[in-house]
A and B are shown apart, each in its own frame.
Chain A
Amino acid sequence: MIQLEKRPQPSRFWSLFTPVIAVIVTMIAGGLLFAALGKNPIEAIRTIFYDPLFGEFSFYYRPQLLVKGGPLILIAIGLSLGFRAGIWNIGAEGQYILGAICGAAVGLAFYPTESVFIFPLMILAGLLGGMLWSMIPALLKVKFGTNEILVSLMLVYVAEQLLASMSLGLLRNPDGHGFPGSRNFQDYPSGHNTEILAGTGLHWGVAAAFIAVTFAYILLNKHILGFNIRLTGEAPRAARFGGVNPTRLTILCMGISGALAGLAGLFEVSGPSGQISIDFNVGYGFTAIIVAFLGRLHPIGILLAGLLMALTYIGGEIAQANLGLPAAAIQVFQGMLLFFLLALDLLSNFRIRLAVKGAA
């Protein structure tokens, strides 16, 4: 009989290595899945994990890693602060959309004026847009005790409708011959999120992600606010006793995560995506939840997890194109990663003991 025994002290070894093991187990289970679909599993795994980095066309894929990883990391960092405190903002996708709409609207309002102040203004607007959207579930929670999971999630669908309306109506490109979608920021230098170093994929949003990682690390490890966030997640009553104001903390965590998601949306719409369109968002806000947990809610972990997730995205696309793997199989593969990670997470707090039945 297998028994789980609680460790007196969480194991450092296992908390560091479970993500590695989870990736390996995902490769094995994913390989089986691909084999069942009639594909060569080794080739599929190689296509997903190896080709984007070192394959023939890696010069093209490597910058993509930053382009895709940047928003994931930026959003996940914000989410992780709330998750650490037991505040579950599931609606980052909506905040991402609102950040993009607000930021883009500010930029487009100035079109075609050229000024160095326009892009910073757009950043500010994106940040505020995401933050205000996250304030809806936050205030409803602290005032009326609603569940922030449900409210923030449902607001994603409201945001999607708003996005559709914007790209068909208010923000539609007047010179676009009736096609839905806004002007393209690539044609508007003052509002364009350019690459800081050409050809590397390193745009301003990626830089913002790295800054967010640094700040989150300092906040959680050196600052009393980060301590209070961790304390609230570990033991809410002890946090109250320790003088933490739960209302203020909820608003703060929701606000930060909304602001970072909004930023990610702005950087995306003004950079890689280029324009507001009905479907410019590709689910970064949801994937970031996986990234946050894959990175164990730790800033450095999230940095690595964001890059890994971006890798499976890019590799998954290559596998779809080259091997004809269905998109659903790639999504299952990404889901497996989270599944195994959460399952193996058990090992950091418990040890498995094989016991003869009846002896215990």
Chain B
Amino acid sequence: MNTPLLSIQGLTKAYPGVVANDDVSFDIAEGEVHALLGENGAGKSTLVKMIYGLVKPDSGTMTWQGNAFAPAEPRAARGSGVAMVFQHFSLFDALNVAENVALGMENPPPMRDLAKRIKDVSENYGLPLDPDRTVGDLSAGERQRVEIIRCLLQDPKLLIMDEPTSVLTPQEVEILFQTLRKLKSEGTSILYISHKLEEIRTLCDHATILRLGKNVGECVPAQTSARDMAEMMVGDTLQTPTRTAQDGGEVVLQVDDLSAASGNPFGTSLKNISFSVSAGEILGLGGVAGNGQDELLAALSGELLTAATAVTIRGDAVGNLGPNQRRGIGTLAAPEERLGHAAAPNMSLVENALLTGAIRQDLTKKGFVNWKGATEFADQIISEFDVRTPGSDRAARALSGGNLQKFVIGREVLQDPEVLIVNQPTWGVDAAAAAAIRQSLMDLAAKGAAIVVISQDLDELMEISDRFGALNEGRLSELRPTSGLTIDEIGLMMGGSHGMHVAGEETVEQEASA
């Protein structure tokens, strides 16, 4: 066998209180697509940061084409041929594509040459991109293309991609995979980080699985079942949420021709949205991030006021009622952003329990707060939702993302809502906690609540929702029963492919689902 492109031997990195990587070893061969698989917090990010020179390992060595490799900073790593596409884009909205690319280069060529090179590379790899367009106007998929092209211009030998598909529609994912396969055929190695097992099975040659910072196994994804990989990743048999579909409940939440301007200048306005949810039903709303999800949640929770009749609950017009008035009639919500929106970071869990629980849990008397009651409510959330924390007096920011999410969801579920709207209920949450959160939503539906789940995780929506719809530029697609929906149909509902097409193939038509 040839010398591997990159060989990692015994890398260890500890942070105060946690060992992020513990004696991790694996090889990446030339021209190989290597998957790095693991739950949130398994140490994937720390590992790639070491490869990219952002973090220095405590011990262990790396060799690059047989030579010792210890990049002190990302520039050194880039010099050796490592390029990385981060999960969160680092682009300036106000600049155009070429300017953004130039900002990420060591010695950017003159703008005119650069624009031509961007065009060449993008056409070559099937990632069409106009160098003169302003980044603020691009879709998430197109922004990712800017990042990828920025990397490709460096002629990398190893391309690291951190959760690249989380912002893409299924069609866009397929185009990305075509590009990655083309790169691979040209000899570029790819380190592909994800926790989406099916993607890894279709794309990757080899997978390394991390759990709690340790390398717990390797496999050839194509020959391993998704379930086996998941169990390696979680280290336990996975509990799949179960529910029995319900139908025939009376309509509880009715949204009728809801239009609202976003409160945020970069937000998406809601346009003529109509749907209804019955008691016991879970409606799943998918869509690429930034297509009106936040605004829809705000309009339903009462943060964004609309015409009274645009939102009705059991026949009562509530569109002009604020959050607390809606809580009074049993409509609760859990926003996507945990810190700063669903919870106040510097305040204790007791205070955060009071934040939305004051009305329904009857925690105030003539305006005076019943702190004992609030503490009991917080403790109840902590015990019933298995929130790992030393106590309810802790600040919300001290909790890990998954634990805080359990707290946020638990806080609403335990208030026995008649209508619950959640946005991204399991974003950044480990598989076990995600399963628990989904199960609690399904149990709540079984008790007769009407639930709207907004999520970018299609698997999640397919698993728990009865009907599915997608948001695209503030509009809602037709709603369809979840059972029997194919991934292609979902992709079309989500707004097609945002104009992407694969090199040398016919353009995938962008069309709204009719």
Which positions in A face B, CB cutoff 8 Å?
A: 8-10, 222-225, 227, 230-231, 234-235, 237-243, 245, 358-360
B340 close to A (CB within 8 Å):
yes
Chain B residues with CB under 8 Å of A224's CB are: 358, 364, 367-369
- Cα distance A241–B337 when bound, in Å? 11
Known: A9-B398, A234-B347. A358 touches B303 (CB 8 A): no
CA of A141 to CA of B455, assembled, Å: 36
Residues on A with C-beta less than 8 A from B119 are: none
A45 and B43 CA atoms in complex are apart in Å by: 55
Whether A231 and B355, one on each chain, are in contact in the complex, defined by CB atoms closer than 8 angstroms, is yes
A sample of 19 inter-chain contacts (CB < 8 A) reads A10-B395, A222-B368, A222-B371, A223-B369, A224-B364, A224-B368, A231-B351, A235-B340, A235-B343, A238-B342, A238-B343, A238-B355, A240-B303, A241-B342, A241-B355, A242-B324, A243-B322, A245-B322, A360-B56
* Chain B residues within 8 Å of A, Cβ to Cβ: 56, 72, 301-303, 322-325, 327, 333, 335, 337, 339-347, 351, 354-356, 358-359, 364, 367-369, 371, 394-395, 397-398
Name the one of B323, B351, B395 contacting A227, with C-beta atoms under 8 angstroms: B351
Say whether, besides A223-B367, A243-B327, A237 and B355 are in contact (CB < 8 Å). Answer: no
* Contact status A238-B351, CB under 8 Å: no
Query: Which 7 A-B residue pairings sit nearest by Cβ, starting from the closest?
Result: A243-B324, A235-B344, A243-B323, A8-B398, A237-B341, A234-B344, A242-B355
* Contact A237:B324 (CB < 8 A) given known A8-B397, A224-B367, A231-B355: no
Which interface residue of A223, A230, A240, A360 has the most chain B CB atoms within 10 A? Answer: A240
Pairwise interchain contact A240-B395, C-beta atoms closer than 8 A? no
Q: Given the complex, which residues of A lie within 8 Å of B72, measured CB to CB?
A: 358
Most buried by A among B337, B355, B358: B355
Give the distance to chain B from A93, nearest Cβ to Cβ, in Å: 31
Shortest distance from the beta carbon of B513 to any chain A beta carbon, whole Å:
32
- CB pair A242 B345 closer than 8 Å: no
In the complex, A15 Cα to B347 Cα: how many Å? 15
Query: What are the residues of chain B within 8 A of A8 when measuring CB–CB?
Result: 395, 397-398
CB nearest to B72 among chain A residues = A358
Most buried by B among A224, A225, A240, A243: A243
Chain A hits for B322, CB < 8 A? 243, 245
A21 and B364 alpha carbons, distance in the complex (Å): 38
**Whole-angstrom distance between the alpha carbons of A230 and B56 in the complex?**
40
A266 to B397, CA, bound (A): 44
Contact (Cβ within 8 A) B346 A234: yes
Complex contacts, A9 vs chain B, CB 8 Å: 394-395, 398
Distance to closest chain A CB from B403 (angstroms): 13
Residue of A10, A222, A238, A239 near B369 (CB, 8 A) is: A222
Residues of A contacting B369 with CB < 8 Å? 222-224, 227
Q: How far is the CA of A243 from the CA of B301 in the complex (A)?
A: 10
Q: With A224-B358, A231-B355, A241-B301 given, name 5 new contacts (CB 8 A).
A: A8-B395, A8-B397, A237-B340, A239-B344, A243-B327
Contacts of B337 in A (CB 8 A): 237
CB-CB nearest in chain A for B397: A8
Residue pair B56, A358 in contact (C-beta under 8 Å): yes
Whole-angstrom distance from the CB of B412 to the nearest CB of chain A? 11
| Distance, CA A241 to CA B357, complexed state (A) | 12
Q: For B327, list chain A residues within 8 Å (CB).
A: 243
B-chain residues with CB within 8 Å of residue A234 when the two chains form the complex = 344-347
**In chain B, what residue has the closest Cβ to A222?**
B368
Q: A241 and B346: CB pair below 8 A?
A: no
B371 nearest CB neighbor, chain A only:
A222
Interface pair A242/B356, CB less than 8 Å apart:
yes
| Across-interface contacts of B342 in A (CB, < 8 A) | 238, 241
Contact: B367 with A235, CB < 8 Å? no
Question: What distance in Å separates the Cβ of A230 from its nearest Cβ neighbour in chain B?
Answer: 7
* Chain B residue at minimal CB-CB distance from A243: B324
Assuming A9-B398, A238-B340, A243-B327, is B368 touching A227 (CB within 8 A)? Answer: no
Distance between Cα atoms of A222 and B342 in the complex (Å): 22
Say whether A223 contacts B344, CB under 8 Å.
no
Among residues of B, the one whose C-beta sits closest to the C-beta of A8 is B398
Q: Which chain A residues lie closer than 8 Å to B371 at the CB level?
A: 222
Alpha-carbon distance A139/B282, docked complex (angstroms): 44
B323, A242: Cβ atoms closer than 8 Å = yes
Q: Which residues of A contact B368 (CB under 8 A)?
A: 222-224
B56 touches A241 (CB 8 A): no
Bound state CA distance, A231 and B396, in angstroms?
A: 13
What's the minimum C-beta distance from B313 to chain A, rounded to whole angstroms? Answer: 17
Instruction: Give the distance in Å from the alpha carbon of A54 to the alpha carbon of B395 in the complex.
Output: 43
Q: Please give the distance in Å from B305's CB to the nearest CB on chain A.
A: 11
- Cβ of B344: which chain A residues have Cβ within 8 Å of it? 231, 234-235, 238-239
Interchain CA distance A187-B59 in the complex, whole Å: 84
Task: Report the minimum CB–CB distance from B73 to chain A (whole Å).
Answer: 10
- Contact: A241 with B397, CB < 8 Å? no
Q: Which residues in A have their C-beta under 8 angstroms from that of B339? A: 235
Given the complex, which residues of B lie within 8 Å of A227, measured CB to CB? 351, 354, 369
A231 vs B350: C-alpha distance in the bound complex, in angstroms?
13
Q: Which residues of B contact A238 (CB under 8 A)?
A: 340-344, 355
**In the bound complex, what is the Cα–Cα distance between A152 and B353 (angstroms)?**
36
Chain A residue contacts of B355, Cβ below 8 A: 231, 238, 241-242
Distance of A63 from chain B, by nearest CB (Å): 37
Residues of the B chain whose Cβ atoms lie less than 8 Å from the Cβ of A231: 344, 347, 351, 355
CA distance A223 to B351 in the complex (A): 12
Query: What separation, in Å, do the CA atoms of A225 and B364 have in the docked complex?
Result: 11
Q: How far is the CB of B50 from chain A (nearest CB, A)?
A: 13
Cα distance A227–B364 in the bound complex, in angstroms: 11
Select from chain A the residue with minimum beta-carbon distance to B15: A360
* Cβ–Cβ contact A241 & B347, under 8 A: no
- CA of A227 to CA of B354, assembled, Å: 9
Which residue of the partner chain A has the closest CB to B304? A240
Listed residue (A9, A224, A240, A241) with the most chain B CB atoms within 10 angstroms of its CB? A241
CB distance from B385 to the nearest CB of A (A): 19
A356 to B264, CA, bound (A): 44
Q: A9-B398, A223-B368, A238-B355 are in contact. Are A230 and B347 (CB under 8 A)?
A: yes
The smallest C-beta distance from A107 to any residue of chain B, in angstroms, reads: 35
CA of A7 to CA of B341, assembled, Å? 21
Give, as a whole number of angstroms, the nearest-CB distance from B355 to chain A.
5
For the complex, give the distance between the alpha carbons of A358 and B335 in Å. 40
Tell me the nearest residue of chain B to A226, going by C-beta: B369
User: Nearest A residue to B355 by beta-carbon distance?
Assistant: A242
Contacts of A223 in B (CB 8 A): 367-369
- Taking CB atoms, residues of chain B closer than 8 Å to A245 are 322
CB distance from A346 to the nearest CB of B (A): 15
A217 → chain B closest CB, angstroms: 13
User: A202–B302 Cα gap in the complex (Å)?
Assistant: 49
Q: Which residues of B contact A241 (CB under 8 A)?
A: 301, 303, 323, 333, 335, 341-342, 355-356
Report Cα–Cα, A359/B354, bound state, in Å. Answer: 43
A235 to B341, CA, bound (A): 7
CA distance A225 to B303 in the complex (A): 19
For B303, the chain A residues whose CB sits under 8 A away are 240-241
CA distance A225 to B367 in the complex (A): 7
How far does the alpha carbon of A242 sit from the alpha carbon of B332 in the complex, in Å?
Answer: 11
CA distance A237 to B342 in the complex (A): 8
**Shortest Cβ distance from B261 into chain A, in angstroms?**
16
CA distance A225 to B322 in the complex (A): 17
Q: A240 to B344, alpha carbons, bound, how many Å?
A: 11
**In the bound complex, how far is the Cα of B333 from the Cα of A242, in angstroms?**
10
Closest approach, in angstroms, between the C-beta of B338 and any C-beta of chain A?
Answer: 10
Question: How far in angstroms is the closest Cβ of chain B from A356?
Answer: 11
Bound-state CA distance A237–B333 (Å) is 14
Chain B proximity of A286: nearest CB distance (Å): 28
The answer for the CA separation of A241 and B326 in the assembled complex, in Å, is: 11
- Measured in the bound complex, the distance between the Cα atoms of B347 and A10 in whole Å is 10
